[in-house]
Amino acid sequence: MDKLLVSVESEAEMIAAGKTIAADLKEGDVVALNGQLGAGKTHLSKGIVAGLGSVDKVTSPTFSLVQEYQGASLRIFHFDFYRLDDVSELLRLGWDDYLDEDGVILVEWADKFPDLMPEGTYCFDLAIKADGRHTVTER
């Protein structure tokens, strides 16, 4: 994927940005989404999941920690690290097993455990600007 910088004004535009990202994803890819509360991580995730062909309802897995969605041709595993305090909690969830699955992994709050992100992870930083616009930057 090329370096991406998107500035959006609405949830619909954030979802559209997610669909654009999804167009380049394939089985085994991991997508790390970082940013403050309300920056748009879940809306970007909704777009990615829809762009991968799933019609499943996407919600933030803040309390369940991981959600699974069925895409058109692969599974999508959606993690939220926000409530995790320790690497051992993530490992007990089976993080390593998920990395071996045939699917795409989306991770909100991935910056909590950056050392567990595999090489080749697509990393996106989301931010809210002073004018209220939201930005998505790939690093």
Q: State pLDDT tens for residues 79-105.
A: 999 999 999 999 999 999 999 998 999
Q: How far apart are CA 77 and CA 109, in angstroms?
A: 14
What pLDDT, on a 0 to 100 scale, did the predictor assign at position 132? 87
Q: How far apart are CA 45 and CA 52, in angstroms?
A: 11
Q: Which of 77, 103, 75, 102 is nearest to 90 (CA)?
A: 77
Q: β-pairing, 75-80 with 30-35?
A: unpaired
Q: State pLDDT tens for residues 102-122.
A: 899 999 999 999 999 999 999
Put the strands of the sheet holding 30-35 in their side by side order. Answer: 5-8, 134-138, 122-128, 30-35, 103-108, 75-80, 66-70
Which domains are seen in the chain, by residue range? 5-118+126-138 (3.40.50.300)
